[in-house]
């Protein structure tokens, strides 16, 4: 059984210029921040997926995480959210022209791809459980809702066979699905290097936070390195929404705009901001401009 799809992903995912007004040095300055992507699913107190889409803050949402795969077992970790409600919320978001993707991997869980066959098996499971496929015996956690793409957030294990996973996913959907990657800030990200070399990824979210200490003080340079390496992909600047998450990497909005965005927004493959994550963004109002 196959689930229906839109005739083109472009019906959902299109460039949206979001102008953010910020007071800098006493003057009102308009900066086009591009798209705003947010990760949802990491805290049960962040509210529903529907609420995130209804906030008006985001142009796409990434559900996280599909965190167990590669050894014949597959499962989600949505931090206590009621998974049975997510399918209807996905459709609601899509009705508002907000694409919803599913991120695989994450910062915990049990995943790896020991062989090319395991990569093919994971691609088949994603196709049948979350995308446009459907096979007897394969549960669909989100019902007949179809996510708009798959994001690779590979933060543990080796790099082997993720390139094959990308090819297998692409063979199912070709241009009807978004393939995105969320990378560490230090270039290259050795866990995703081979996958990105396939040229199949339309969007790359560069996390200028986390374990790569040299990147947290060189946000702009890190983004520019990635953008130069992948001119055919839209490259996003991934930031934390609160100093509680990463005090060293946190960019106050004034600094974000004056020191980073003002220099990169005109680059041809600048995509926008990736906010980590919905819980902290809701708590601080970071993407809404409530904190400077």
CATH code for the domain in which residue 242 is found: 3.20.20.80
Nearby residues of 108 by Cβ (< 8 Å), 6 or more positions away:
67, 77
Whole-number pLDDT of residue 208? 95
131 contacts: CB under 8 Å, gap ≥ 6:
3, 146, 147, 150, 172, 173, 177
DSSP-derived 3-state class of residue 208: coil
The predicted pLDDT at position 217 comes to 77
pTM: 0.92
Q: Give domain status of residue 28, yes or no.
A: no
Distance CA 267, CA 32 (A): 12
- Is-cis flag, bond preceding 188, omega within 30? yes
Residue 10's pLDDT band, with cuts at 50, 70 and 90, is very low
Residues 6+ apart with CB under 8 A from 178: 9, 13, 99, 101, 148, 149, 150, 202, 203
Within-domain flag for 3:
no
| Structural contact between residues 108 and 77, judged by C-beta atoms closer than 8 angstroms | yes
Burial of 59 (0-12, 13-18, 19+ CB in 10 A): buried
Domain count, the chain: 1
Asked if residue 292 belongs to a domain, the reply is no
Residue found under tokens 């994550």:
277
- pLDDT of 216: 74
16 within some domain: no
pLDDT of residue 6: 44
Examine the pLDDT at 204 and tell me if it is beyond 60: yes
Supply the mean pLDDT for the chain. 89
DSSP 209: S
Q: Is residue 198 in some structural domain?
A: yes
233 assigned to some structural domain: yes
pLDDT bracket for residue 292 (50, 70, 90): low
Tell me, yes or no, whether 170 lies in a domain: yes
In a domain, 1, yes or no: no
Average pLDDT over residues 112-116: 96
Domain of 138, in residue numbers: 36-284
């Amino acid at each position: 059984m196959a689930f229906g799809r839109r005739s083109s992903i472009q019906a959902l995912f299109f460039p949206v210029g979001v102008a953010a007004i910020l007071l800098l040095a006493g003057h009102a300055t308009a900066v086009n921040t591009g798209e705003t992507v947010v990760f949802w699913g990491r805290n049960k107190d962040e509210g529903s997926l529907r609420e995130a889409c209804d906030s008006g803050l985001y142009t796409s949402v990434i559900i996280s995480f599909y965190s167990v795969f590669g050894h014949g077992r597959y499962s989600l970790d949505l931090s206590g959210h009621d998974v049975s409600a997510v399918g209807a919320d996905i459709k609601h978001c899509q009705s508002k022209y907000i694409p919803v993707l599913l991120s695989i991997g994450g910062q915990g869980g049990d995943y790896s791809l020991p062989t090319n066959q395991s990569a093919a098996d994971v691609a088949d499971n994603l196709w049948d459980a979350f995308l446009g496929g459907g096979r007897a015996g394969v549960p669909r956690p989100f019902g007949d809702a179809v996510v708009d793409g798959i994001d690779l957030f590979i933060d543990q294990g080796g790099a082997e066979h993720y390139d094959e996973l990308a090819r297998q996913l692409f063979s199912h959907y070709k241009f009807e699905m978004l393939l995105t990657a969320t990378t560490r800030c230090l270039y290259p990200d050795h866990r995703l290097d081979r996958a990105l070399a396939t040229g199949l990824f339309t969007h790359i979210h560069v996390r200028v936070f986390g374990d790569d200490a040299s990147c947290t003080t060189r946000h702009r340079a890190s983004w520019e390195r990635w953008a130069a390496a992948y001119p055919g992909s839209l490259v996003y600047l991934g930031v934390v929404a609160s100093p509680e998450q990463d005090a060293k990497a946190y960019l106050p909005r004034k600094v974000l705009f004056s020191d980073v965005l003002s220099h990169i927004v005109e680059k041809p493959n600048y995509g926008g901001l990736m906010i980590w994550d919905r819980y902290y963004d809701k708590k601080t109002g970071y993407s809404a401009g409530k904190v400077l």
